[in-house]
A and B are shown apart, each in its own frame.
Chain A
Amino acid sequence: MELISAILLTFLIVCALSVCLTKRLLTSVVIFMGYSLVVSVLWLLLESPDLAITEAAVGAGITSILFFVTLRRIKIIKGKSEGNDDDS
Chain B
Amino acid sequence: MILEVLRRLVNWVEGEEVFPPEKAAPMGKSTVHVDPMNEWLLSVQNRDIGVLNRLKGWAARNGAAVFRNVYRVFAGVLCVTVIFVLLATVSFLPKFGNPDNPANNEVPQRYIEKGLEETGAINIVAGMILDYRAFDTLGESNVLFIAVCSVTILLRTDRKDGKVNISELGMIETDNDDDLILRYAAMVLAPVALIFGVYVILNGHLSAGGGFSGGTIIGAAFILISSAFGPQKVERFFKYSTYKWITFAALLTYASLKFYSFYTGANHIDSHIPLGTPGAILSSGLILPLNICVGCVVACTMYAFYALFKKGGFGNGT
Contact = CB atoms under 8 A, between A and B. Distances in A.
Interface of A: 48-50, 52-54, 57-58, 61-62, 65-66, 69-70, 73, 79-81
Given A57-B213, A58-B216, A79-B175, A49 B208 contact: yes
B111 interface: no
B306 A81 contact: no
Contacts of B213: 50, 53-54, 57
Interface in B289-318: 302, 305-306, 309-310
A50 B209 contact: yes
B217 interface: yes
Given A50-B125, A50-B213, A61-B220, 19 more contacts: A48-B125, A49-B208, A50-B126, A53-B208, A54-B212, A54-B213, A57-B216, A58-B216, A62-B216, A62-B302, A62-B306, A65-B223, A65-B306, A69-B309, A69-B310, A70-B309, A73-B309, A73-B310, A79-B175
B174 A81 contact: yes
A73 B170 CA distance: 10
A50 B129 CA distance: 12
A45 B175 CA distance: 42
Interface residues of B, number: 23
Interface in B202-235: 208-210, 212-213, 216-217, 219-220, 223
Contacts of A58: 216
B287 interface: no
B200 interface: yes
Contacts of A70: 309
A9 B283 CA distance: 40
Contacts of A79: 173, 175
Contacts of B125: 48, 50
Interface centre among B125, B213, B302 (most CB of A within 10 A): B213
B223 A50 contact: no
A66 B305 contact: yes
B220 A81 contact: no
A15 B216 CA distance: 25
Contacts of A54: 212-213, 216
Contacts of B126: 50
Nearest to B209: A53
Contacts of A61: 216, 220
Given A66-B305, A81-B174, A53 B220 contact: no
Interface in B263-290: none
